Chains A and B, each alone.
Chain A
């Protein structure tokens, strides 16, 4: 059973779907952002698992560690960049959310859409 053997990958995919579900179904924007972060985490998990080696060791050459047994260092280096980008995206999104709340007093997406329509009907798109 390949699927059971690749259980890391399978778990990452399920985590991704859970995050996507949160993004689509939840109405609160903060919860959507949490879902986005879950999706990002699942991608990081998937990448790190790709570099996994059976009975591998950390890629640090101390104490005569043999390179043949080391896990793949490139996904780890790439995901370090990915984490920083994810943090930046989250920070920017949260600051936008703060502005939205300040403007409309709600974080509910449906209500925000209704407010937007009302604003368009009354003020001609001017908010």
Chain B
């Protein structure tokens, strides 16, 4: 009965949504309202105003800098909440109740993971460094690093993995990512411009474009490494708890 009612409800919702879709302007039309208002200005002026060829990076790190600041805050709040729910990890304690025996997996899998993880990290470095000229950027590269660590952890276990990325390193990188982002943003305010913009009338007319690019890359690296370490920390917190509740054999 419940199932039938929910199916009916969802069918009605689908019909309603499809009806709305049928009355929307045609997809991909250059005269759509979504493509006519603020977009042409961003596309025309982004390169000279933000000194990045990639307009999306310009929007994320410049026009909507506060937005990205909030985004960084959200992911750190998530880490703080997960640690509050699952219990904080104390230095050295992580080794205490994690059994150090290796995860049973075949030699082929282990060799492949050992072989492929450096290349994944290399690719993420590429993604971060080329964030202002190609698709990609800090968050994407950080997610790729996090993915490589997740693969490593599933195959080699928490003990090996937490030796590679110890708590001290993670805590330092997580903190410095937010602080670096915030400081570069505030430098813009100190220079007389807006948050996270690089027009600094109080210092010079405009910064050298090369310096702007390096500041952007710095912010991207900070976001990337910080995001990756947050992902790894969340994963470790979850696995640790899982091993603790596993029935003692």
A residues near B (Cβ < 8 Å) are: 2-3, 5-10, 13-14, 16-17, 20-21, 24-25, 49-54, 56, 58-62, 67-68, 70, 72-77, 80-81, 83-85, 87-89, 91-92, 94-96, 98-99, 101-102
- With an 8 Å Cβ cutoff, the count of chain B residues facing the other chain is 62
- Whether B27 and A52, one on each chain, are in contact in the complex, defined by CB atoms closer than 8 angstroms, is yes
> Given A13-B17, A92-B78, A96-B85, are A24 and B238 also a contact pair (CB < 8 Å)?
no
Flag the segment in B41-49, B89-97, B175-183 that touches A: B41-49
Question: Which of B30, B78, B79 has the most CB atoms of chain A within a 10 A radius of its CB?
Answer: B78
A interface majority secondary structure: helix
> Given A2-B24, A59-B56, A95-B82, are A21 and B71 also a contact pair (CB < 8 Å)?
no
B residues near A (Cβ < 8 Å) are: 3, 6-7, 9-10, 13-14, 17-18, 21-24, 26-30, 32, 34-35, 38-40, 42-44, 46-47, 53-56, 59-60, 64, 67-68, 70-71, 74-75, 77-79, 81-82, 85-86, 133-135, 137, 139, 227, 231, 234, 237-238, 241-242, 245
- Whether B29 and A54, one on each chain, are in contact in the complex, defined by CB atoms closer than 8 angstroms, is yes
- Whether A59 and B55, one on each chain, are in contact in the complex, defined by CB atoms closer than 8 angstroms, is yes
- Whether A17 and B78, one on each chain, are in contact in the complex, defined by CB atoms closer than 8 angstroms, is no
Task: Name the CB-closest residue of B to A17.
Answer: B14
- On chain A, the residues within 8 Å of B3 by CB distance are 25
- Whether B30 and A53, one on each chain, are in contact in the complex, defined by CB atoms closer than 8 angstroms, is yes
- Whether B43 and A67, one on each chain, are in contact in the complex, defined by CB atoms closer than 8 angstroms, is yes
- Whether B29 and A98, one on each chain, are in contact in the complex, defined by CB atoms closer than 8 angstroms, is no
- Whether B17 and A16, one on each chain, are in contact in the complex, defined by CB atoms closer than 8 angstroms, is yes
Task: Name the CB-closest residue of B to A98.
Answer: B241
Q: Within the complex, which residue of B21, B26, B71, B139 is in contact with A13, where a contact is CB–CB below 8 Å? A: B21
- Whether A52 and B67, one on each chain, are in contact in the complex, defined by CB atoms closer than 8 angstroms, is no
- Whether B67 and A81, one on each chain, are in contact in the complex, defined by CB atoms closer than 8 angstroms, is yes
- On chain A, the residues within 8 Å of B234 by CB distance are 91, 95
- Whether A6 and B21, one on each chain, are in contact in the complex, defined by CB atoms closer than 8 angstroms, is yes
- On chain B, the residues within 8 Å of A99 by CB distance are 85-86
- Whether A60 and B82, one on each chain, are in contact in the complex, defined by CB atoms closer than 8 angstroms, is no
- Whether A8 and B60, one on each chain, are in contact in the complex, defined by CB atoms closer than 8 angstroms, is no
- On chain B, the residues within 8 Å of A5 by CB distance are 26-27
- Whether A91 and B82, one on each chain, are in contact in the complex, defined by CB atoms closer than 8 angstroms, is yes
- Whether A95 and B27, one on each chain, are in contact in the complex, defined by CB atoms closer than 8 angstroms, is no
Q: How far is the CB of B228 from chain A (nearest CB, A)?
A: 12
Q: How far is the CB of B160 from chain A (nearest CB, A)?
A: 22
